[in-house]
Amino acid sequence: MECKAHPFNTLGDYKFACIFATYQGKWIFCKHKEKASREHPGGHIEEGETPLETAKRELFEETGAVDFEIEPLCDYWMRGKIKGKEISAHGQVFFATVHNLDKLPSHSEMERVDLFTHPPDNLTYANYTDEIFPIAQKKWERAK
């Protein structure tokens, strides 16, 4: 997958919203029920949703986060295969500080939530994480 970061709210026609989130001084990564790899919370923007609404929904559905602060981080363009289908799309990335994690909702695609000091080696979307993580890391360092 190819990925390129852009300033927030500059690309338009967004298809995805993703979140780089922290909890208790660590990065949140999700373990999908059908994958051996880890990923950031995020997903498709549903009809009628804004990217921010999608980010909040996905953060809850994929991590169980019930109390958090969320803010814009950047836009991204990506191209690659998702679920075997070639795709080229724009997305928005948000940064979240989670204050309370509850149980994963029963309808969640995620098996569990893991906390890491640094991104794990086994990532679902490694190029995406490689491109966006330094931006999120800088935002986190400024917020401390």
The pLDDT tens digits of the residues spanning 119-129 come to: 998 998 888 89
Beta strands in the chain (DSSP E): 2-6, 14-23, 26-32, 38-39, 42-44, 65-82, 85-101, 110-116
Average pLDDT, the chain: 94
Residue 8 near residue 73, CB atoms below 8 Å? yes
Domain covering 2-85+97-143: architecture: Alpha-Beta Complex (3.90)
pLDDT band at 143 (very low <50, low <70, confident <90, very high): confident
- The ranges assigned to domains in the chain are 2-85+97-143
- What is the model's pTM? 0.93
The DSSP secondary-structure symbol of 120 reads -
State residue 28's pLDDT score.
97
127 Rama sector, left if φ>0, alpha if ψ -120 to 50, beta otherwise: alpha
State residue 59's pLDDT score.
98
The pLDDT tens digits of the residues spanning 21-68 come to: 999 999 999 999 999 999 999 999 999 999 999 999 999 999 999 999
